[in-house]
Structure 1
Amino acid sequence: MKRLLITYLLLMVLGQMTGAQEQLTQAQRADKLYERFEYAKALELYLPIADNRTSGLHVTERIADCYRNITRYQEAEAWYARLTAERRASAISHYYYAEMLLRNQKFEQAKAAYKVYFGKVKDPQRLKLKLGSCDSAALWITKKPGYEVKNERNLNTAYSEYGAAFFYKEQLIFASDRDVTTQIDNRTGNGWFNLYFTDGEGSKPIALNKVPAWNSLGNEYHTGPIAFYKDTAYVTITTDAAAADIKTDKHTKQRLYSRRLQLLVMVKKGDKWLLSSDFNYNDLNKYSTANAALSADGKILYFTSDRPGGYGKTDLWYCGKQADGSWGPPVNCGPLINTADEESFPQIGDDGLLYYASKGLPGMGGYDIYKVKGAQNVWAKPENSKYPINSTSDDFALLTHDGKTGYLSSNRQGGQGSDDIYNFKTVEPAVAKPLFGVADKPIKTGQTFVLRNIYYDLDKYNIRQDAAAELDRVAEVLKEHPNVLIELSSHTDSRADDAYNLRLSQRRADAAVTYLISKGIAANRLIAKGYGETQLIIQCANGVACTEAQHQINRRTEIKVLSE
């Protein structure tokens, strides 16, 4: 019996060792995918082993990084929260945690996390910039907006759409990775980017490389965005490059590939658009060149590049048209435009302003859109476009004729996919509208309104479809009254335990607020409060016999105006 017991224990130990080896092998496989930037595939291997004791902080950090890199910021925040709770968490994880909190509009928590990071990595100027972004975002989203921004639902999908360009009158061409039937990008799990065409009148977008006039584009690489000047187009394509400055895989000794961008030139010949040449100043093995924009007279070409001689990670550059029609050498747009971080997506409006995206200027977080007067390397001070053109996420690729209407790209909350295309227009001075259906009454701090159609299943707090419709109406009203802050409270009837009712009502209020945030309402405009059975309208307290109709009156969701 003793020998059998020893044999059994040995088998258990061997089984545990084998399991540990299998887990280690899975982690190594995931690491290889991660090092090749194949974040979507790496996640599939990391997640099943995340809770094993053998996985450690390394797997937790990699999961958080993967979610961040595929722009799933709420999941990334949750994993960075788990990671930074550990004493041995890396300093950079605190920075990324702060970034995710800012993107998810948790401004005070973001400021605290930034302070933790910059307490470890001394950079007072950058800390000041980040804290300023939190304060600016919290302030701007409560101000009366000068623009109305709407999702282009006819263009967008559950995938990514960005970089709209005008093509003859109001027709649009944009980039999307919606096609998952051919190539798959292992970084995101979506398809490769291709250009799509729409007539701007609600028709279904068509892949441009399937249109006979554009079939020279092919689909051998990521394509987009595109910029036009008369019968010439400048297309950004993304390819993998193996260059001398790119590290090798430490396991396989094979050279890793980096994504590099370059510009291709297309010209119109008859009724067809043909690939003509590479842009003269591409150098795929050394740096990227992308995202072209042309001045109104076609004499200046602006673009994005990480070539040597810049001020930061990516800068805006320009080339001037020479007498022989060629482009002169690239010149940096200078320190008023460029920062130590990233600048990209230039666009020249018909109003003559340069619109571009920056991560290095004071803003709301992520890429913010700026506008500035000037040309080449002589500029005024850039002006932040503020909310709602900007958000706490990435906002970029603004396209406009007159500065009053146009399109932008963003991965802000409430979108259909990763990046979405939005239209915008200036708004006229607001005329007072009734709040929450109460006509002819001024909005007053302290007013309370009962939402009659918010119902929950028994003992549940998920938002039902009928409740969602009512909350959608609330979201629209809040967008029409951007300065209003509210408390959304949930009340139960007196049945069930008092403490249980209090917890349930808080969860219901939290769920309603989370839903409103998903519809684009700033988190700092909403307070969730569960009162349980402490504020009964009909005094059906414990032990008092009441009808179901009386209990229903007590079960309610209310909105209280906290400030106007």
Structure 2
Amino acid sequence: MKRSLLLFFLVALLGSSCTSLLKKGQKQFSSGEYQYAIGTFSRVLEKDPDNKEANFYVAESYRLSNRVERSSVYYEKLVEEDPTFENYYRLGQSYKAQNKNEEAQEAFEKAKDLTLDDNFLRLVNHELAVLSKVGEIKDYWPYLELQNYTLLNTPGPDYAPILSEGYIYFTSARQASGIYPATGVPYTKMFRARAEGTRIDVQNIQALPEFRNEEGLNQGAIAISPDGNTIIYARGNSTSNKDLPDVHLFASYFRGGGFTQPIWMPVNEDEFWWNSTPAFSPDGNTLYFSSNRPGGQGGTDLYKATKLANGDFGNAVNLGPQINTPGNEMFPRVMPDGKIFFASDGHPGFGKLDLFVAEPKEGGGYEIKNLGENVNSSADDFGIFFTKYPQEGFITSNREGGAGDDDIYFFEDKTPKPKIVNVFLNVTTKEKKEDGSEVILPQTRVALYDATNKMAGGDFTNQNGRVRLTLAPDETFSLIASKSGFFTKSITYDTRGKTPRQEELIQDVTNITLDTTIVLDALILEKSIVLENIYYDLDKADIRPDAAIELDKLVQILKDNPSIRIELSSHTDARATDAYNDALSQRRAESAVQYIVSKGIEADRLVAKGYGKRQLIIQNAQTEEEHQVNRRTEFKVIEIR
């Protein structure tokens, strides 16, 4: 009997103890003291691991204090006993934050089967779509290298650095007084140190000197206007009932030789809305920030507010659904080229917050890109700032291997410098003699033009008829050779495919020497020059395709030599009557002239003349080959203007 009574009293005492702890934990949870609530409910779970209420509050406490990755073991307990949409959805979010994408997908699929609510379906479908695209992510800067700034970081949080007027400003829990009950880590303050680029004077870090950091609350995520006259930062999480209930933006202005005491900004609009992570546009006329105000896409969204006539910022506008998601977007950074860098857990990523870039598209809108695995991790990655855009700067991350909490990292783009290829082209100029031989033509001017018809070099050939020009690899050029008494001649020269590819180069500088020859014809008035392969169909004057190819060469000669005027003549063989041959040759000559005019040559530079059979080269021709020699088209220069 005594033994039974003792057991009864022990059970009653245990039940009373659990009830007391549950009430205490609920009060802590309701007050936002999530870390204290976790401790209290953990004591309940030590005695009753399956306690549904305790598992729920521990899971939610971790989620609401930005540690959702630690909540999965508690949500796993909940879905066993209470398989609801919300429990499976939160479990999926916890797996996703740990980069356990297969488990996350399975949890989201189960959540989807447990609801018909359109809003819930929108949320879970978004998460499934995000998971399906993770495998498509590529490194935005393939050669970027990231390194922990170990001399700057402490075991507590250090995050969101910016540079202004030779100083780095950042948020840190060093010199903290008091513990933030939601996370169990010290409250944060703002600090600065001298800096040049990513080099920081870590020996002389001081608390923000412009105005005093307050005690017993978090302050940080600082922004400084381009002119250095305005400081905006986030302030909140006070445990005082007399303070503001949420995180808000405060501003301090440089007035009369010093900065004013920070004041609450009207852009916050409502004391129950969360507003944080401010950043200025490059010109200082727009303020970007993150807020959970109503009307957004969900979670925290990015907004922009314009500078008003009185110096305040107002008329906040949501950046829209291309950038904002049902998740959280924060820590914007707007660059002069219009790109917006930001942190998000709602776009395809590797876990919690990842860094993204929104690239403006032609015609409006943005293309969103994850910066890749060489920047992001499964932990929180945020707060990018460029000291030299886009080659170097800082980010913040609480990834494994750091000093203990949020750490500041510096990065540098180590893209290897391309190896240099010098292309030297040896040009030889020659003259074509009457007998068909070619001899050196010295003192000829050779001009080089690039693909945009911009002059890229040139000089006169030496006594050996040679000149060396420097060309770029993988490009197309024009060479124009000219000398008094000769037809000017242009040729195209292509260096594409004539040099090794970058990956094949061994030396930092590789010299490639190429050769080409330009042959000029003497420009003699009234000297006939036969155009080869100008054929016409029998008894016709139409320009055939094969004849057009040859006439195009004459077009080029006329373009290269704009000061000449020519006669284009057509000749027949000795067959048929004089009258017939004269008329046919005239029609053919006129047809050739019309073709040349259609290619942009002025008509007054051309004279068409049909000679019929009056200027035979071979008298008494017998064979078809001999007749073909007589059937020819010629041109001669009749005037040099």
TM class by smaller structure: 0.5 to 0.7
User: CA contact under 8 A between 1:173 and 1:195: conserved in structure 2?
Assistant: yes
Of structures 1 and 2, the one with the larger relative CO (CA 8 A, separation 6+) is 1
Aligned twin of 2:401: 414
- The aligned amino acid for 2:154 is T
More strand by share: 2
Pairwise CA distance, 1:352: 3.9
**1:489-528 correspondence runs (5 A):** none
- The aligned amino acid for 1:50 is L
2 CA distance for matches of 1:325 and 1:70? Answer: 35
Aligned twin of 1:358: 344
Pairwise CA distance, 1:194: 0.7
- Is residue 216 from structure 1 mapped to residue 212 from structure 2 by the alignment? yes
Counting aligned pairs with the same residue, the percent is 24
Give the match's secondary structure for 2:179: coil
2 CA distance for matches of 1:33 and 1:202? Answer: 41
- The aligned amino acid for 1:412 is R
Aligned twin of 1:445: none
User: CA contact under 8 A between 1:265 and 1:279: conserved in structure 2?
Assistant: yes
User: CA contact under 8 A between 2:190 and 2:213: conserved in structure 1?
Assistant: no
Pairwise CA distance, 1:420: 2.3
**1:20-419 correspondence runs (5 A):** 20-53=15-48, 56-72=51-67, 75-84=70-79, 86-121=80-115, 126-137=123-134, 140=137, 145-169=142-166, 171-180=167-176, 182-200=177-195, 201-204=200-203, 206-209=205-208, 213-229=209-225, 230=227, 231-240=229-238, 259-269=245-255, 272-275=258-261, 277-323=263-309, 325-373=311-359, 379-400=365-386, 401-419=388-406
Pairwise CA distance, 1:359: 3.1
Q: TM-score, normalised by structure 2?
A: 0.57
Pairwise CA distance, 1:302: 1.6
User: CA contact under 8 A between 1:350 and 1:402: conserved in structure 2?
Assistant: no
Pairwise CA distance, 1:138: 5.1
Q: 1:105 to 1:119 in 2, by over 3 A?
A: same
Pairwise CA distance, 1:144: 9.3
1 CA distance for matches of 2:312 and 2:245? Answer: 27
Deviations for 1:267-323, whole angstroms, at most 9, x for unmatched residues?
235764332533232334342332221111111122222333433333222222345
Q: 1:161 to 1:9 in 2, by over 3 A?
A: same
1 CA distance for matches of 2:323 and 2:139? Answer: 28
1 CA distance for matches of 2:351 and 2:254? Answer: 40
1 CA distance for matches of 2:417 and 2:18? Answer: 60
Q: TM-score, normalised by structure 1?
A: 0.64
Pairwise CA distance, 1:224: 0.9
Give the match's secondary structure for 1:316: strand
User: CA contact under 8 A between 2:141 and 2:413: conserved in structure 1?
Assistant: no
Aligned twin of 2:541: none
User: CA contact under 8 A between 2:360 and 2:367: conserved in structure 1?
Assistant: no
Give the match's secondary structure for 1:50: helix
1 CA distance for matches of 2:243 and 2:24? Answer: 17
Pairwise CA distance, 1:58: 1.6
Give the match's secondary structure for 2:400: coil
Alignment RMSD (CA, Å): 3.4
User: CA contact under 8 A between 1:164 and 1:407: conserved in structure 2?
Assistant: yes
Q: 1:90 to 1:155 in 2, by over 3 A?
A: farther
Q: 1:218 to 1:272 in 2, by over 3 A?
A: farther
Deviations for 1:200-256, whole angstroms, at most 9, x for unmatched residues?
4251473524xxx334343353211111112211121114599xxxxxxxxxxxx99
User: CA contact under 8 A between 1:313 and 1:340: conserved in structure 2?
Assistant: yes
2 CA distance for matches of 1:430 and 1:94? Answer: 50
Give the match's secondary structure for 2:146: strand
- Greater Rg over alpha carbons, structure: 2
Pairwise CA distance, 1:13: 0.6
User: CA contact under 8 A between 1:303 and 1:316: conserved in structure 2?
Assistant: yes
Pairwise CA distance, 1:29: 0.8
Q: How many residues align?
A: 407
User: CA contact under 8 A between 1:318 and 1:332: conserved in structure 2?
Assistant: yes
Give the match's secondary structure for 2:71: helix
Give the match's secondary structure for 2:279: strand
More helix by share: 1
- The aligned amino acid for 1:130 is E
- The aligned amino acid for 2:400 is Q
Q: 1:423 to 1:128 in 2, by over 3 A?
A: farther
Structure 1 unaligned spans of 5+: 1-5, 243-254, 432-564
- The aligned amino acid for 1:117 is A
Deviations for 1:127-175, whole angstroms, at most 9, x for unmatched residues?
4543444454456489994422222222322222221111223x32111
Q: 1:339 to 1:177 in 2, by over 3 A?
A: same
